[in-house]
């Protein structure tokens, strides 16, 4: 892949790659680092990508970088805990419900519905079968429904 095509590909997929890394890492700075490091690794291996699978290839590289950052983070001891921001956006209930999901359910949900990937493509990125992906999506939707219905009843 030539340089111009690679740059165009990265610019097109960067917002989605950032959203995926943010969903995994839950830190804007770490998400930006994961995307940047992932794209640097992709740059060095840009000639090895198969035509038609560029999006899945980039996504897999960024997910692997997120895992590396999580491993590094597990070895760190936080110096201080930052206070919660005073303002929360109006869609807080849904965002909090999605954030509360286990990663194995949250990530398929984001790939399918937020990033618009097909089930085949999302399953390939996650390294699972389409049947397993469908099961995780179903469990994620049921958990969201339960959480959001409980909040409506309390409110």
Q: Which of 49, 54, 48 is nearest to 8 (CA)?
A: 54
Mean of pLDDT values over 65-93: 69
> In this structure, are 28 and 78 located in the same domain?
yes
State the first-to-last Cα distance of the chain, in angstroms, to the nearest integer.
Answer: 54
> In this structure, are 71 and 103 located in the same domain?
no
| Contact criterion met (CB below 8 Å) for 18 and 32 | yes
Q: Which of 82, 108, 125 is the last residue of a domain?
A: 82
Mean of pLDDT values over 113-120: 90
> In this structure, are 94 and 124 located in the same domain?
yes
Residue 33 tokens read as 């680092």
Residue 129 tokens read as 């079968």
Length of the chain: 155
Q: Which of 28, 57, 82 is the last residue of a domain?
A: 82
Domain coverage including residue 150 = 89-155
Residue 80's pLDDT band (boundaries 50, 70, 90)?
low
> In this structure, are 13 and 77 located in the same domain?
yes
Q: What is the CATH number of the domain that holds 146?
A: 1.10.10.10
Q: What is the CATH number of the domain that holds 28?
A: 1.10.1740.10
Average pLDDT, the chain: 87
Q: How many domains does the chain have?
A: 2
User: Is 0.85 topped by the overall pTM?
Assistant: no
The CA distance from 55 to 10, in Å, is 9
What are the angstrom distances between the C-alpha of 54 and each of 11, 21, 39, 65, 95?
Answer: 13, 17, 12, 17, 29
């Amino acid at each position: 892949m030539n340089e111009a095509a690679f740059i165009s590909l990265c610019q097109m997929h960067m917002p989605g790659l950032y959203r995926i890394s943010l969903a995994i890492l839950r830190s804007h700075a770490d998400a930006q680092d994961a995307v940047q490091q992932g794209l640097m690794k992709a740059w060095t291996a840009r000639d090895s990508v198969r035509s038609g699978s560029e999006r899945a290839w980039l996504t897999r590289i960024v997910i692997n970088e997120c895992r590396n950052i999580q491993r590094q983070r597990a070895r760190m001891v936080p110096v201080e805990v930052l206070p919660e921001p005073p303002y929360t956006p109006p869609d807080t209930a849904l965002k909090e419900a999605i954030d509360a999901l286990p990663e194995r359910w949250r990530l398929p949900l984001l790939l399918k519905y937020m990033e618009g990937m097909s089930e085949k493509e999302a399953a390939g990125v996650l390294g699972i079968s389409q049947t397993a992906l469908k099961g995780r999506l179903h469990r994620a939707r049921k958990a969201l429904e339960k959480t959001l219905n409980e909040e409506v009843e309390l409110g």
